[in-house]
């Protein structure tokens, strides 16, 4: 059941949102109406297209899929797979931006548990005065990955699941991948922006997205992927950008004039 949600004025000037194609921005807003009161939404192109763009015949499942990839690549949506191999998205910052009176309980407790588990990893084992296991938590904190490494791990997982919602990924893959990305940042001295660019490239390349399915693979093939990315960018194989809503608006205007 669709729900009334809030759009803050800051949304329109947010730099991360500005990186999205206009259609992807509209799709992202639409997911808020479809999400339950915990911020969980069914992450399926056909479903989202039918609910958000029911009368836009030019907005195909492929177009929506591209926009979904845009949203996930910017870490605006965390993706999780349930026991039935269905993919669900969790809208990041949900409880910060949506104030809900008398929320309905979620029907996806398994997804919510995964969200809470991921959040505990990203909180770096923070110890409060209420903790009765301070020493143990400090030891665990040593094994936590950095915030940037965690973001890169989440980005890779989101891109993989957007390409293949049924990809077989282990439940504890995020902390494992986070440690690998930490090694790339600290030991290999890789630039975080270069890593992010390579992740996006690898999951948008028809060949690489079927082969680069882990952080270890990214690390072992980083130089090769980086050179291939730059070669494609500078050559005739340059990746096409996702279709913009401007295209549809202009085409419809031309149709009206004719």
Concatenate the DSSP letters of all residues of 191-256 into one string: -HHHHHHHHHHHTTSTTGGGT--SHHHHHHTHHHHHHHHHHHHHSTTPPPPPPPHHHHHHHHHHHH
pLDDT of residue 44: 92
Judge contact between 36 and 106, C-beta under 8 A: yes
pLDDT of residue 53: 93
16 by DSSP, 3-state: which?
Answer: helix
Taking the mean position of all CA atoms in its chain, how far away is CA 51?
20
Looking from the CA of 174 toward its CB, the CA atoms found within 13 Å total: 23
pLDDT of residue 175: 83
Judge contact between 203 and 160, C-beta under 8 A: yes
Judge contact between 225 and 238, C-beta under 8 A: no
pLDDT of residue 2: 63
Domain locations in the chain as residue ranges: 9-257
pLDDT of residue 85: 85
Model-wide pTM > 0.75: no
d(CA 257, CA 148): 50
- Lookup: tokens for 113: 């548990």
190 by DSSP, 3-state: which?
Answer: coil
- Lookup: tokens for 154: 């989440």
Judge contact between 163 and 76, C-beta under 8 A: no
Q: Quick one: angle between helices 109-122 and 173-186, nearest 10? A: 30
pLDDT of residue 233: 61
41 by DSSP, 3-state: which?
Answer: strand
pLDDT in tens, 226-246: 999 998 766 544 444 444 444
Question: What is the DSSP-derived secondary structure letter of residue 12?
Answer: G
The residue ranges of the chain whose pLDDT is under 50 are 123-143, 236-246, 248-250, 252-254, 256-258
């Amino acid at each position: 059941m669709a729900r009334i949600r809030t759009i803050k004025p800051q949304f329109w000037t947010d730099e991360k949102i500005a990186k999205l194609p206009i259609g992807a921005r509209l799709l992202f807003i639409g997911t808020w109406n479809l999400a339950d009161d915990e911020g969980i939404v069914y992450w399926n192109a056909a479903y989202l297209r039918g609910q958000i763009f029911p009368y836009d015949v030019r907005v195909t499942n492929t177009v929506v899929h591209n926009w979904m990839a845009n949203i996930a690549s910017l870490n605006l949506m965390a993706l999780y797979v349930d026991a039935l191999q269905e993919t669900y998205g969790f809208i990041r910052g949900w409880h910060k931006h949506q104030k809900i009176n008398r929320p309905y309980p979620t029907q996806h407790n398994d997804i919510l548990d995964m969200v809470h588990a991921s959040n505990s990893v990203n909180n770096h084992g923070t110890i409060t005065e209420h903790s009765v296991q301070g020493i143990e938590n400090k030891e665990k904190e040593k094994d936590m990955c950095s915030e940037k490494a965690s973001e890169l791990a989440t980005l890779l997982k989101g891109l993989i699941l957007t390409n293949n919602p049924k990809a077989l990924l282990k439940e504890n893959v995020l902390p494992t991948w986070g440690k690998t990305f930490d090694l790339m940042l600290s030991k290999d001295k890789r630039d975080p922006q270069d890593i992010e660019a390579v992740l996006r490239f690898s999951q948008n390349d028809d060949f690489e997205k079927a082969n680069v399915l882990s952080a270890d693979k990214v690390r072992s093939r980083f130089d090769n992927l980086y050179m291939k990315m730059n070669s494609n960018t500078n050559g005739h194989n340059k990746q096409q950008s996702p279709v913009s809503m401007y295209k549809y608006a202009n085409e419809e205007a031309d149709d009206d004039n004719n």
